[in-house]
Amino acid sequence: MQLKTIGEFGFIQRFAPKFSQLVDQKDGGIGDDCAILQINDALSHVVTTDLLIEDIHFLKDEITPKELGYKSLAVNLSDIAAMGAQPLYSFLSIGIPANTEVEYLDAFMEGYYELSEKYGVPLMGGDTTKSADRLVINVAVIGQGTTGDLRMRSMAEDGDVVAVSGFLGDSGGGLKVMLDGVERTPEALSLIKSHHLPEPMINEGLWLAQQAGVHAMMDISDGISSDLTHILKASSKQATVHLECLPVSKMLQKVGEQHDWNIHGLASGGGEDYELLFTVKCDAFDQLNADFQKKFGKPLYNIGEIKKGEPQITWMNNGVEVVESKHGFDHFK
């Protein structure tokens, strides 16, 4: 059987249950955005790691080295944000082709430092090695959060609203601009920027985790069709998502209409938006949204609801059930 038959998450499920037997009951291992290592009843460390490989996760000719350094850290900080924790330290390991220019690496580290400084996350170490012909980047981040406030995928409850913290599909649209050779209009360039320079929702995640009505939470790295399914499986629930409620930026709408894109497909499965996807008690959402807008100057978006049932998503478009063919990103399928 080839790996593409079962995909990335099928592979993980082949070994995760065995290793879960070795995890202390008070900790949390494979299955969330971060591992949870409880310090005491009040505090826990959260740990995440992410790998970026040239031509798989980024196109070296399209992204500047400074942007790449920034993004390499950003995607890891996003995992910390999804747990409702504060990032503390990062570690960087990098495999570098021997013909790489030192100035390229200087610019990479400048971008990495820029985001490190913004969130007060020092680089504490790592490793460097020679790579045959591709740049390989691995970042690990350690964070800390209040034990009782950490938000996991398994916390969704019946009747919860499914919500997101911002626009969906811009990053997928930016990748499509590059891959399809779309004209680099100001709107198209804005989409590319969304793909190259995601903003981790650190402050938003910390705030949401402290709100009593917020239950499950994760970041949107593979698209909501994939990421919401992770929440549903972990929580043993099902969900209905209303495609007409997916928040889409004016830039994506304009470029998508010009080139006949499946905008709903990009919004539901484009991936790498790094917004927060979370569930919240139904009668708490309106007040939560009002308080969020007051604090952060932007709204939350209600895109669906959680209910009892087998883990699956029912897609609706203006009251009509539809088949959504975009299933989110999986490395091996």
- Quick one: 153-322 is in which CATH superfamily? PurM-like C-terminal domain (3.90.650.10)
Residue 327 has a pLDDT of: 61
At 220 the pLDDT is 97
Exposed / middle / buried, residue 80 (Cβ in 10 Å: 0-12, 13-18, 19+): buried
13's tokens: 């499920």
Please name which of 191, 204, 34 lies closest in space to residue 119, comparing C-alpha atoms: 204
Q: How far is CA 152 from CA 79, 82, 222, 231, 299, in A?
A: 11, 8, 17, 8, 22
List the chain domain ranges. 31-149, 153-322
CATH (one of 3.90.1150.10, 3.30.1330.10, 3.50.50.60, 3.40.50.300) for 31-149: 3.30.1330.10
Those residues of the chain that have pLDDT short of 70 are 325-333
In this prediction, residue 9 carries a pLDDT of 80
Q: How far apart are CA 287 and CA 284, in angstroms?
A: 6
pLDDT computed for residue 7 by the predictor:
85
Tokens 């959260």, residue located: 46
Residue 331: predicted pLDDT:
53
Give which of 24, 61, 41, 312 is closest to 179, Cα–Cα. 61
pLDDT digits 0-9 by tens, 122-174: 999 999 999 999 999 999 999 999 999 999 999 999 999 999 999 999 999 99
